[in-house]
Structure 1
Amino acid sequence: MKVLRLLSVPFLLLAVPLCSFAQLYFVENKGQWDAQVHFKTEAGNSAFFLTKDGYSILINHPEDYLRLAEFNHGHGFDSTAKQQFRTAPDKLRAHAFRVKFLGGNFNSTPIMEKPLPGVENYFIGNDPSKWASGCKTYQAITYKNVYPNIDVRYYVQDDQLKYDLVVHPGADVSNIQMRYEGADKISIRSSELIVSTSVGEARELKPYSYQFVNGKREVVGNKYKVTGNTVSFDVSAYNKSTVLIIDPTLVFSSFSRSTADNWGFTATPGADGSFFGGGIAQPTGFPVTAGAIQSTGGGGPGGGSGVPPDIAIIKLSPDGRTRIYATYLGGNGLDQPHSLIADAAGNLVIAGRTNSGANFPGTLVGAGGGYDIFVTKINPTGTAIIGSLRIGGTGDDGVNITASRGGANSLQRFYGDDGRSEVIFAADGNILLASSTRSPGAAGSTTSFPVQNGFQSGLSGNQDAVVLKINANANAVIWSTVLGGSGDDAGFVLSYDPLNPANIYVGGGTGSTNFPLGAGGTLQTTYNGGLADGYLARLQDNGGSVSLNRSTYLGTGNIDIVYGVQFDSKGFPYVMGTTTGSWPVLNATYSVPNSRQFIAKLRPDLSAFVYSTTFGTNGALSPNISPVAFLVDNCENVYVSGWGGGANNFGGTGYPSAGTTGLPVTPDAFQRNTDGSDFYFFVLQKNAASQLYGSFFGQLGGGGGLEHVDGGTSRFDANGVIYQALCANCKNVNSGTPLTSPFPISAGVYGNVNPAGGSGCNLGMVKMRFDLAGIDVSLRAVGAKQLNFCLPATIQFTDTIRKAKQYIWIWGDGSRNDTTTSNPFTHTYTTTGFFDVKVIGIDSNSCNVKDSAMMRIRVTTDSVDVGFNFARQNCNSLTFNFTNTSDIRTASRPFGLKSFMWVWGDGSKNDTIPGFAPPIAHTFPGVGSYNVRLVLIDSNYCNLGDSSGFVNFQVIDNIKAGFRVSNVCVPDTVNVVDTSLGALTYLWVSSDGQTSTNRSPGFTYNTPGTYTIKQYIFNPNSCNAVDSTERTFQAVGPPTAGFTYSPNPSQENTPTRFTSTASADVVKWLYEFGDGDTSNLRDPIHQYTSPGINTVCQTVTNAAGCVDSVCIPVEAIINIVNDLPSAFTPNGDGINDVFMVRGFGITKMTLRVYNRQGLMVFESRTQNIGWDGKYKGIPQPMDAYAWTLDVEYFTGEKLKKKGDVTLIR
């Protein structure tokens, strides 16, 4: 169906960065909530409710929510938040508002999409009618025909809540009218909808709409209109026969939160969308996590005044809200990370340079000296090094031209160019690296770069490129080679052909007229002249050695350098770089004449361009940007990220840059303006047909406004999501222009401020999704252990990317294929064997229409009941004897030599054993609690990974009973907190006859009185075996709520007096008047401002903290009126002392008072605040003063009045 899709981008509520949010989803209402609610989702301190006529949002105050959550987690003083969390807040401030689709069809049946595995159960309170079980969860809900031919679709994308208004042919967009009820104020700021509440602001970002028409993107203008408390959309003319495409979305932007100066270099994605960032930092102040590889830096001398000497690595969750780990890495010299890459398991490979010598962690390959290249692999938690190599000769390795940044020099064209190299994974899982060497001497000499099984023997000029293949654990070089001629040569980037992974392509810059060309027959076989040419070389990976297949120059006769090489799915290489010459434009609809950045697609044999084009500003004398990230996506769209501008002149150095001013941006740009020194994101459509996207990113003006990197590369993932590192917000670097917009930081992220003192920078981390890469699928079997399953096998398969609109599931067991929109999907296998499972994801509106993924699973009947027993050698010994009692359920297969693994949970090495080995003795390091498990690791068994164990295995001499119990308000379950030591099992006995063997007994009391609970704990491996204790507590009855009101019946424009009739034990009152106002008085008086029936609720609390509530409907009768006096006498006698608005039915107002000179001496936006005759605390003279009044009534009517008032003294 051809539709217009109006996208309202994410709700940005007042988020609290307490922990990584769980996956967002909509939970169906099966009676656990109010009947008006259809679905509910929660995110941090906010809740979102879907109803038949719209939605409601509840926001808890961030400070209260943070304090309550930290208190409940038992946290004390937080040095970052500068708050004490040992006490809960007195009350949890909150604000709710609802959005209603005026005039809509409220009989629409919601359509549930993208169901998630599992269900949720709600057993809260003592009323079984409010209990619900088996509540299903979804990631998308659509209400059809809310208006004629207009649907509303709520959904979750990248852990953010969004909604679409889907306009089908024949629909009228002007029908959409969204009324906001309960908000303090609705306004538009910077094209965003701002919803003001008593606990802060919620934002709905600028709505974007655009379409592909004849293969090109056309943006549809779309903006909010606000009339009173009603929001609608002002949409430009659009093509009603084509589908509108989703716009780019900032997933997050965060600082590293380092209090030390922290410069940004490099970034890469994790397989799960997590963000790895790398930079350098001063030796203390980087926010390392517990157990980090290095908790402080080596504290080297740096590379100049104030240069941070230590590598700093940080990993953030996919939504940027949580720091997963952070660590230092390096020695006592100057260390830099230039490139990062993460594997599917979350291990991170870091490549860069170091001059720390033997003090840098790792094994030396070569003579070493000066700067050396390093490659280090660390584990997924950032707590251990898997492998590390330091590679080099006696000269500088890993340095392009010179480590001193003195301005443009040979192949060093931008600030930070001395730190360019790239590390990737080969198709076989080993590591590939491109870099540079300046170590002199022939191969095998004591000074040269260590060549191993390479094709070039040693350094041919002052500097050559180097290419290395290193094993997967980063502890051995498989092969290495030098690549270059008699001039300066540098290896900046590399990639491999996806159709022939042995073909490795390396790119960079060369000043050599005799650069090695291999077999020849390529696009440019002679040096083009000028200071530098780019080059692209195709190497052949022979397994244990490497050879040169062919190379081509890429240049114009001026300065040309390749900064990116990538492949499309058909095996065609693409290059990206900068030029100062007349770069050829060939077979390209899109180009910018005389611009200084190029993109080209070549034939795989490097014999010709398929197309070639340029982008940037017309007529620039120098490149606009220093490129740092490059991608070709599934649709053959091309992505570039880079920075330009003032950072190229740090310290008076001269690196020519045209800056970012004038670069083309698209109407849907994240940031349309630039101060000339920002990052720039650019997307080129397939075959250079058009510019799909262009946007700036950065602070505008002020101190710290020169965004850049100090070296290194960042990355796009395969789906076109940028993971960009920045050196951001350097407060000692002034852009030379006033600050007009701060560095963009998204709500709720881990690092929302740069806390580095004085002149400090912070590593900025930006993740932005472009949604241009087409359909992509990735298949996972939920709960699989190496894809082994036991018969009968009911397996849930899921596409983890979730972009497809339709799926074809092919099961591989001869059963019928399933075509469905459901993801995940479940299939049952009833026979044993190996099965190839395939899923085809389809989206007819995407550029590539469909994608597929496949996996092989194994279904068998071989399974094991895993179990063990244990005995302590004596009651105060630290040594236990453990016996494997596991049982094979079928006799067809014996245990192997390595069938089981003991996991001791005390930091010692795990023990791998065969089946039915003799008992194993293990000595624990001391008294304590350990997570001891016996794990089945034999892949011959279908329940591989099953384990048996104790999460709380106790090593203790004498056990000690203990618990805390609080008084309870009946009817309720008493809160019992176990504080015992060493218990393996429990017995609880209540004085009313209840018993329990759980760790927490869950006793419920319905009658007030005094009760006693006794605890018995048991551990046969302790010396005393059993211990007991008891506690006494009170079960307290609740108070009784009640109130009356007068006048009753209500009278026009008359305040309502509420009189409490609650029980005598009440010590606290809370009235909620139904219009958003509240009172804590016993007998409050309240004036309503708009007519209607209000549900007034009283909640009362007694001294024991027990509560009761009651609600009564109260009518408010309001007729519009307002008045102001003609004179007032502020003499302190309490009579007519204040000039203020007196009226009824007023929802908004602004009163301003002016003296004879036209100076505004007073302003108020509420009836409750008037003018006391003072200006800035000084009494004003007796005189006549002019006033103006803007009023809006509950009917929506607006009124403007003016007059004068006499101040009499």
Structure 2
Amino acid sequence: MHTQELQHTVTPSSKKSNNTSSIIPERDDPHSFHAHSNQISYYFLPQQWSLTLDQLQFQFQIRSDKSTSPQLAIQHFFTGNQLAPLHSPILIYKEAWTGIDLLFYFQNGHLKYDLVLAPGSNIHDIGIQVLHTDLIAITESGDLLLHSPHGMLKQPLPYSYQLSTYGKKERAVSYLLIDQHTFGFELDGEYDPSLPLVIDPILLLYSTYLGGSGTDCGLSIDVNSKQEAFVTGTTASANFPTTSGAFQTIQTGFESIFVSKFNTAGTSLLYSTLISGSEGERGVSIRVDDGGNAYVTGETTSSDFPITSGAFQTEFKGIESAYITKLSPTGSTLIYSTFLGGTETNSANSIALDSDRNAYVTGITQSRDFPVTSGAFQTRNRSALQTSFFSKLNATGTSLIYSSYLGGSNFDAGSGITVNTKKQAYIIGLTGSNDFPTTPNSFQTMLPGNNTAAYVSRVNADGSSLIYSTYLGGTGDDTGAAISLNGNDEAYVTGQTTSTNFPVTPNAIQSQLAGTQDAFVARFNQAGSTLIFSSYLGGTNTQVGSGISVDPFDNAWVVGETSSTNFPISSDAVQPTYGGGSFDAFATYLQLQANTSNRILYSTYLGGSALDQARGNANDNSGNVYITGDTQSANFPVLSRSFQTQLAGGEDGFVSKIGSPSSTIRGATGATGAIGATGATGAIGATGATGPRGPRGARGPRGKRGAIGESGA
């Protein structure tokens, strides 16, 4: 069975869409049918079907030399299809090919098609001819691209398995180009012809453990234009997987940073290295530039942490120091590495890059002598506990372009940072200070309660003033965790809240607190004066929002963890039910538009029977999302073809890639232009710099190593 979602994703327009979400017979021809969804019209005839959006049209035809004479009919159930919901009418091309049925139905508001292969049928009989196309191509990552004079349709790489009384067995299936205008499918491994075959492009493309025999945790992830994932985190494993020629392959302290680069398929490590001194350190945030250099930040307690000659700060001054390290594209050398801190506790929680490869970091410091620069926004630490900072390091790692405190008289913590094309930094965090610096006319200028609130601040290009700065919260505890930007410089944020009066908008997906603590998702206007969208996200127990990344259509992926068995999950989820244990990770794809009926486009659990937590995420240029975190589950959902298929220690990192939850139609751009549009989305990767959230101990004054929590040695 082949499942493919046909969903059109567009930027908002005034055009009214006809979303009947039903397949209807034509009045004058009972053998023809039509449907409408998300501004797309679908038409079905006995041997072919088509989809139309404005001038963009794709027409699909059952290849006649391998097909029978299919019967076209509507059914309200189909016993051979375990994925199609019973309440959804199904349009069936019965025996489209010998022993193979073609099904269309609506699921979660989107039209899908399945190919159901009965036992003994031949996958090579399947041929779907696409009329009026310029080109059919398969990308390096296995996606199918259909080009027309007016746009492009993308169908993700299939994920396939067979079902028996013993459970699910994965099978490798890929797209096959039969000729210039026809595609089919190819089996790439073992196959039991006595069982039905499920070929499913939705949506888990790879999922793997990453760790050794000790405790390991993935904390941050980024992806390059080749769809190669870069992960950082912390490891206490003496046998953490490293690669030959990497910068450091031996654990020298009780806890080390790791930086691992995966190939596109998630089946092997292109490099994997440790970075450590004789004590302990964590890799909390990672970003990759267009040259393949990885930038990592976090904290270290090692005075002999590897620092490069000529770096900005070569002396370890405090109890714990932040650091910024730039790793070469091969993972073999440090291009630069510097401490960043004063004589007390200092830690960095997030890093971002601009087009000139300057690095921006934010985090926490207790130091009165944290390195700040003349003319910076705030040059004095006003807190007796801890305060936020934001710093900009030059491209060579030798000097600070600017560096500033950001906080009031109580406690503050910087959790996430990103930067726009104007080199203006955006920071999110939490504060308990009723005198945290806010700006006039910002959304919320006063601490809304007696507890903690999130804050969102936008800094001008030279770090000397705040363009806007606002609280975000209610009368409970609110924590800002991660931040991302769209192309209009509007900030998207996530975190968690216990406030029953957290500010939500009329277009919220969830307007009330559902559990003891919910995640929140919010979108600000450019000026930081108004919420375009704000919503709770959660079930009846506890949720944490950890990472957020925005796609080119102003929708957002949010990841985190939940202990709720009724967390909002879509019907097409790769894991529709709670895995068990204290927490499962979640990944949710949301529409966050203004003045519209917003909804969850896709949502899934990721977890097994123990503790599972998602810590950060990033998008690639095809709309896929990459997630990292940590798991204690021996049955965490990993794929057999991935790098590491078994839990190696008490807690391992994990890396999962979920495909775009829809085929994406890019219309009215011309065939060449459509290819360019796909490339352009790579720029969003830079904005994804805000994905990972800061240490979990950031709620209150942070002691030495206190933020490590369950990831500790």
Amino acid at match of 1:397: N
Q: Is the 8 A contact 1:643 1:660 kept in 2?
A: no
Q: How does 1:825-974 map to 2 (within 5 A)?
A: 839-841=672-674
**What CA deviation, in whole Å up to 9, does each residue of 1:200-251 have, x standing for no partner?**
x74779xxxxxxxxxxxxxxxxxxxxxx969699xxxxxxxxxxxx974111
Question: Relative to 1, partners in 2 of residues 1:590 and 1:116: Cα closer, same or farther, differing over 3 Å?
Answer: closer
1:773 is displaced (CA, Å) by: 9.2
Question: Relative to 1, partners in 2 of residues 1:293 and 1:99: Cα closer, same or farther, differing over 3 Å?
Answer: same
Residue number in structure 2 paired with 1:686: 592
1:770 is displaced (CA, Å) by: 2.9
Residue number in structure 2 paired with 1:514: 435
Q: Gapped runs of 5+ residues in structure 1? A: 6-34, 37-51, 57-96, 118-137, 143-154, 164-184, 195-200, 206-227, 234-245, 301-308, 400-420, 441-446, 645-658, 732-741, 776-803, 809-819, 821-838, 844-849, 856-1209
Is 1:114 aligned to residue 136 of structure 2? yes
Residue number in structure 2 paired with 1:392: 341
- Matching residue within 405, 409, 412 for 1:489: 412
Is 1:588 aligned to residue 507 of structure 2? yes
- Matching residue within 646, 656, 664 for 1:766: 656
- Matching residue within 257, 260, 278 for 2:232: 278
Residue number in structure 2 paired with 1:1073: none
**Matched positions, count:** 537
Is 1:629 aligned to residue 547 of structure 2? yes
Q: Is the 8 A contact 1:341 1:425 kept in 2?
A: yes
Residue number in structure 2 paired with 1:374: 323
**What CA deviation, in whole Å up to 9, does each residue of 1:373-416 have, x standing for no partner?**
111011111111111111100000017xxxxxxxxxxxxxxxxx
Amino acid at match of 1:762: D
Q: How does 1:784-863 map to 2 (within 5 A)?
A: 808=670, 820=671, 839-841=672-674
Amino acid at match of 1:114: I
Q: Is the 8 A contact 1:664 1:694 kept in 2?
A: yes
Question: Relative to 1, partners in 2 of residues 1:805 and 1:271: Cα closer, same or farther, differing over 3 Å?
Answer: same
Is 1:528 aligned to residue 448 of structure 2? yes
Question: Relative to 1, partners in 2 of residues 1:508 and 1:773: Cα closer, same or farther, differing over 3 Å?
Answer: farther
Question: Relative to 1, partners in 2 of residues 1:54 and 1:530: Cα closer, same or farther, differing over 3 Å?
Answer: farther
Residue number in structure 2 paired with 1:356: 302
Q: Is the 8 A contact 2:607 2:633 kept in 1?
A: no
Equivalents in 2 of 1:854, 1:317: separation in Å? 20
Equivalents in 1 of 2:135, 2:166: separation in Å? 33
Secondary structure of 2:342's counterpart equals coil
Residue number in structure 1 paired with 2:611: 706
Amino acid at match of 2:532: V
Amino acid at match of 2:653: L
Residue number in structure 1 paired with 2:401: 478
Q: Is the 8 A contact 1:366 1:393 kept in 2?
A: no
Q: How does 1:179-190 map to 2 (within 5 A)?
A: 188=164
1:495 is displaced (CA, Å) by: 2.1
Equivalents in 2 of 1:324, 1:557: separation in Å? 48
**What CA deviation, in whole Å up to 9, does each residue of 1:948-968 have, x standing for no partner?**
xxxxxxxxxxxxxxxxxxxxx
Q: CA RMSD in A?
A: 4.0
Amino acid at match of 1:508: G
1:366 is displaced (CA, Å) by: 7.2
Equivalents in 2 of 1:139, 1:601: separation in Å? 31
Q: How does 1:302-313 map to 2 (within 5 A)?
A: 309-313=255-259
Is 1:438 aligned to residue 366 of structure 2? yes
Q: Is the 8 A contact 2:450 2:475 kept in 1?
A: yes
Question: Relative to 1, partners in 2 of residues 1:156 and 1:774: Cα closer, same or farther, differing over 3 Å?
Answer: closer
Is 1:323 aligned to residue 269 of structure 2? yes
Question: Relative to 1, partners in 2 of residues 1:356 and 1:2: Cα closer, same or farther, differing over 3 Å?
Answer: same
Equivalents in 1 of 2:379, 2:145: separation in Å? 64
Residue number in structure 1 paired with 2:247: 293
Residue number in structure 2 paired with 1:724: 627
Residue number in structure 1 paired with 2:33: none
Q: Is the 8 A contact 2:97 2:125 kept in 1?
A: no
Q: How does 1:184-223 map to 2 (within 5 A)?
A: 188=164, 202=171
Residue number in structure 1 paired with 2:648: 755
Is 1:677 aligned to residue 583 of structure 2? yes
Q: Is the 8 A contact 1:436 1:463 kept in 2?
A: yes
Instruction: After superposing the two structures, state which structure 1 stretch, 744-753 or 356-365, moved more.
Output: 356-365
Q: Is the 8 A contact 1:840 1:852 kept in 2?
A: no
Q: How does 1:1178-1193 map to 2 (within 5 A)?
A: none
Secondary structure of 1:841's counterpart equals helix
Work out the percentage of aligned pairs sharing the same amino acid: 22
Equivalents in 1 of 2:476, 2:229: separation in Å? 38
Amino acid at match of 1:372: S
Q: Is the 8 A contact 2:373 2:400 kept in 1?
A: no
Residue number in structure 1 paired with 2:572: 668
1:283 is displaced (CA, Å) by: 6.0
Secondary structure of 2:465's counterpart equals strand
Q: Is the 8 A contact 2:216 2:237 kept in 1?
A: no
Question: Relative to 1, partners in 2 of residues 1:807 and 1:458: Cα closer, same or farther, differing over 3 Å?
Answer: same
Q: Is the 8 A contact 2:444 2:472 kept in 1?
A: yes
Q: Is the 8 A contact 1:617 1:663 kept in 2?
A: yes
Secondary structure of 1:327's counterpart equals strand
Amino acid at match of 2:673: I
Question: Relative to 1, partners in 2 of residues 1:453 and 1:291: Cα closer, same or farther, differing over 3 Å?
Answer: farther
1:315 is displaced (CA, Å) by: 1.2
Which structure is larger by alpha-carbon Rg, 1 or 2?
A: 1
Residue number in structure 2 paired with 1:538: 458
Residue number in structure 2 paired with 1:744: 637
Question: Relative to 1, partners in 2 of residues 1:666 and 1:439: Cα closer, same or farther, differing over 3 Å?
Answer: same
1:698 is displaced (CA, Å) by: 0.9
Q: Is the 8 A contact 1:495 1:506 kept in 2?
A: yes
Q: Gapped runs of 5+ residues in structure 2? A: 1-40, 46-64, 67-95, 101-118, 147-152, 175-192, 683-713
Residue number in structure 2 paired with 1:347: 293
1:465 is displaced (CA, Å) by: 0.7
Question: Relative to 1, partners in 2 of residues 1:203 and 1:503: Cα closer, same or farther, differing over 3 Å?
Answer: closer
Residue number in structure 1 paired with 2:525: 603
Question: Relative to 1, partners in 2 of residues 1:531 and 1:719: Cα closer, same or farther, differing over 3 Å?
Answer: farther
Equivalents in 1 of 2:129, 2:552: separation in Å? 41
Bigger relative contact order, structure 1 or 2, given CA contacts below 8 A and separation 6+? 2
Q: Is the 8 A contact 1:492 1:563 kept in 2?
A: yes
Q: Is the 8 A contact 1:592 1:617 kept in 2?
A: no
- Matching residue within 542, 566, 578 for 2:496: 578
Amino acid at match of 2:612: E
Equivalents in 1 of 2:129, 2:314: separation in Å? 73
Residue number in structure 2 paired with 1:254: 208
Q: Is the 8 A contact 2:155 2:663 kept in 1?
A: no
1:567 is displaced (CA, Å) by: 2.0
Amino acid at match of 1:708: Q
Equivalents in 2 of 1:632, 1:598: separation in Å? 15
Q: Is the 8 A contact 2:626 2:655 kept in 1?
A: yes
Residue number in structure 2 paired with 1:696: 605
**What CA deviation, in whole Å up to 9, does each residue of 1:911-951 have, x standing for no partner?**
xxxxxxxxxxxxxxxxxxxxxxxxxxxxxxxxxxxxxxxxx
- Matching residue within 454, 471, 475 for 1:553: 471
**What CA deviation, in whole Å up to 9, does each residue of 1:15-45 have, x standing for no partner?**
xxxxxxxxxxxxxxxxxxxx99xxxxxxxxx
1:717 is displaced (CA, Å) by: 3.9
1:532 is displaced (CA, Å) by: 0.5
Amino acid at match of 1:377: K
Residue number in structure 2 paired with 1:616: 538
Equivalents in 2 of 1:851, 1:606: separation in Å? 30
1:508 is displaced (CA, Å) by: 0.6
Query: How high is the TM-score relative to the length of structure 1?
Result: 0.41
Equivalents in 2 of 1:116, 1:720: separation in Å? 16
Residue number in structure 2 paired with 1:995: none
Secondary structure of 2:42's counterpart equals coil
**What CA deviation, in whole Å up to 9, does each residue of 1:1007-1036 have, x standing for no partner?**
xxxxxxxxxxxxxxxxxxxxxxxxxxxxxx
Secondary structure of 1:684's counterpart equals strand
Equivalents in 2 of 1:604, 1:358: separation in Å? 43
1:483 is displaced (CA, Å) by: 0.5
